[in-house]
A and B are shown apart, each in its own frame.
Chain A
């Protein structure tokens, strides 16, 4: 890779100050599991690398009954996977993290870095969006909190300005009768995922009418994809198999996948339909019991 100035930081303040100084000439380094590869492949060559892996104030996992989960951007995938807090409160996240990349990547790579890479095949984003996540973005100028669903704009592109840093991920507490499911499909178990989906469903107290539903998918669009129409189809209705099948069909039609060496667009569409149908059904069953 090409040379760069290495600037390790210990505080978020320091990091913001440096990135606002260098802007597009600088890049934030956390776990580097996406960044270092790009550097080695010489596809990018920033002049300054601002290392925030040592900023301990960004590495935390806390939960509050009222506010929900607060996750620092530097929390590693492995920490999320293994956290008993996560396994108790948001088990779908631990489940999803088990199949993110490999143990080695999960040990060093961070959730913040993963989201900022903007990869549409990433699994954390759809799961977090299904759980209604918000993210806190900081810079020397301001601090703002936005829904994660609004973060991604295109392939590998987020709304982050050149001087901004993703600091925190926030999840609201789960309400009663909520079922959240993560499901994936790969042709090789340990291989790249063809399509994955995260579905969250909230039922009314009658445990059969849907109050809210979110169907979010990876690898079917340039961004983590929220199949809004399919989700809205379910809201306010009594859930049954026919309705689920209709939602799955609609979700599949909303997608816009491309073909690549792993799967054709048509195959992805079809798999999306099957996965969504199964995931919605399972989310419904889980919500009934919750």
Chain B
């Protein structure tokens, strides 16, 4: 399942990078995020809960930064499972930051998610729609939080 998004944030590129690299901040943008914990320089442990109708899942996964080019590019590879054993997944995400004007950054990400197990059987269309919805919520929160921060610190 391929997910691609692009959005513009009104903040200097350095701030956007710092924000993106801060697990606490990112954690608050991800709907259903219970925790993001830094394990070491390159690895994070995350627990996220999600659901569609009567189906509830709790994903526990480890993300590893495999490529980093401050402040422009980051590649994350994640591997995880549903704690209720409904499925496992692997994911590769590329996040790119591009300064399009002073205090204006275009964030684009491309995510390749592979789900295996009962969750995949349930329906790719619903997962995709949920992933899209979570993505949209994430973008909204990301923009709100980083632009609010800027106002406070400016």
Report if A and B associate in a common complex. Answer: yes
Contact A258:B86 (CB < 8 A) given known A44-B54, A155-B53, A156-B53: no
B126-152 CB contacts (< 8 Å) to partner A: 126, 128-130, 132
Cβ of B130: which chain A residues have Cβ within 8 Å of it? Answer: 155
Cβ of A259: which chain B residues have Cβ within 8 Å of it? Answer: 125, 128
The 8 A CB mask of B83-109 against A (1 = contact, 0 = none) is 001100000000000000000000000
B interface, over-half SS:
helix
A1 vs B106: C-alpha distance when bound (angstroms): 47
A154 vs B129: C-alpha distance when bound (angstroms): 10
B121 interface residue per 8 A CB criterion: yes
Cβ of B7: which chain A residues have Cβ within 8 Å of it? Answer: none
Q: Are A156 and B52 in contact (CB under 8 A)?
A: yes
Q: Tell which of B121, B124, B128, B129 touches A41, judged by Cβ atoms closer than 8 Å.
A: B121
A131-175 CB contacts (< 8 Å) to partner B: 154-157
Q: Are A42 and B52 in contact (CB under 8 A)?
A: no
Cβ of A188: which chain B residues have Cβ within 8 Å of it? Answer: none
Q: Are B128 and A155 in contact (CB under 8 A)?
A: no
The minimal Cβ–Cβ distance linking A39 to chain B, given in whole angstroms, is 10
Cβ of B123: which chain A residues have Cβ within 8 Å of it? Answer: 260
Interface residues in A, total, Cβ within 8 A: 17
Chain A residue nearest in CB terms to B121: A41
Cβ of B124: which chain A residues have Cβ within 8 Å of it? Answer: 260-261
Interface residues in B, total, Cβ within 8 A: 18
Q: Tell which of B55, B85, B86, B125 touches A260, judged by Cβ atoms closer than 8 Å.
A: B125
Cβ of A85: which chain B residues have Cβ within 8 Å of it? Answer: none
A38 vs B121: C-alpha distance when bound (angstroms): 11
B118 interface residue per 8 A CB criterion: yes
A118 interface residue per 8 A CB criterion: yes
A260 vs B125: C-alpha distance when bound (angstroms): 5
A43 interface residue per 8 A CB criterion: yes
A222 interface residue per 8 A CB criterion: yes
A170-200 CB contacts (< 8 Å) to partner B: none
A117 vs B52: C-alpha distance when bound (angstroms): 11
Q: Are A155 and B126 in contact (CB under 8 A)?
A: yes
Q: Are B53 and A258 in contact (CB under 8 A)?
A: no
Cβ of B126: which chain A residues have Cβ within 8 Å of it? Answer: 155-156
A222 vs B123: C-alpha distance when bound (angstroms): 13
The minimal Cβ–Cβ distance linking A161 to chain B, given in whole angstroms, is 13
Q: Max chain A CB contacts within 10 Å: which of B53, B119, B124, B126?
A: B53
Cβ of B85: which chain A residues have Cβ within 8 Å of it? Answer: 42
Give 18 pairs: A residue, B residue, CB < 8 Å, sorted on A. A38-B54, A38-B55, A43-B55, A43-B86, A118-B53, A154-B53, A155-B53, A155-B126, A156-B53, A156-B54, A156-B55, A157-B52, A258-B129, A259-B128, A260-B123, A260-B125, A261-B124, A261-B125
Q: Which residues of A contact B (CB under 8 A)?
A: 27, 38, 41-44, 117-118, 154-157, 222, 258-261
Give the 5 A-B residue pairs with the shortest CB-CB distance, closest first: A156-B53, A260-B125, A258-B129, A43-B55, A157-B53
